[in-house]
Structure 1
């Protein structure tokens, strides 16, 4: 823009102040930028732009302005989210959008459907209060691979997951069993609400009997895509980022990638809903606060 203003005077005799006015900049700005700004402010902004680009690359293009701002502040930088957003835009860096995922739900028997214990009150400020479950398919070359996951709404942490070749009640139970083990056993989570869709894996008699035995209260709702949106959104993110980063020829490759992704998510992925902390960092903060 500074070069354009200078060119207007040289080519058409338009004074700098006159050219600055319709462009919304001041003559002082023009004189500062005409030959480059050597000020400390410009140097600091240039350095910060490099750091923003580094963090964007380090997170593989998954982070936008809010979590990158949190990273910078954690490193001791005093920076606003608007500044980070501007630096990303100046460099053409845009976090990748999510793709809509294909549902794998097969409706279960009506007479076995669980009551809705959530009542659209989705939030939870305590651990082991509300868990959300869902399943998805991981695209691979040699056949089918399914992932069932359990998310604790109190921290957005994936506390349980299971991978298998069949999307059924056994896979759903394996994910739930892992979540219970991670949380310290059935006594530690007694009474937890486990909210899912009404797919056949969750309405199966064996799965319902296991929930009763373990003290897990099943919950579900029919006909609303919003009621399980938290875990569905999480699966959508996982699917998109794995599909973007790699094409899996075998189940073994996909299994390793999914496990690594979940571990990174639980330990490192910042959430705006958690004060820009990762799920495990948020849980540690809750424990320290309780202590």
Structure 2
């Protein structure tokens, strides 16, 4: 709608506001309200640009690690009274993002041989119960952290088996595989 009003503003000396508003099916009062708010919009845009500059300086000062919470906290300490959601919006709009730590459950055994990749990065199967993939994740519960191992059938995209425990040792994966073998009826060579 801003483009329509900007067009009317640009063309009003040659055609008149009433004619342009009628052709573009816009109420004249809406155009005049948009026109009256122009100073406010310009001031807000200037404030957003200044705040974005400060956010960028803080973000670069942290070697690109600070996200919204830390940037907002730093702005508060510097005396800037700004809403956290506005900081998040400006950072998102300008592609400023903090560093994320990924927590991995994998603890590789230094002495173990690497396992061959039987899937070969081909996550497609035509026949059900012939190709399974799996993963382990952790979930917060009322009893503490629980680890979930599950398998997915690549042909049907259904979960064929799962196991949950308070640890993520190899027995968890073996339990899930036992469930798949007993419940899903895996094909030979799966």
| TM tier relative to shorter chain | 0.3 to 0.5
Question: Which is greater in Rg?
Answer: 2
The two structures have a TM-score, normalised by structure 2, of 0.47
The two structures have a TM-score, normalised by structure 1, of 0.32
1 or 2 for the larger relative contact order (CA 8 Å, sep ≥6)?
A: 1
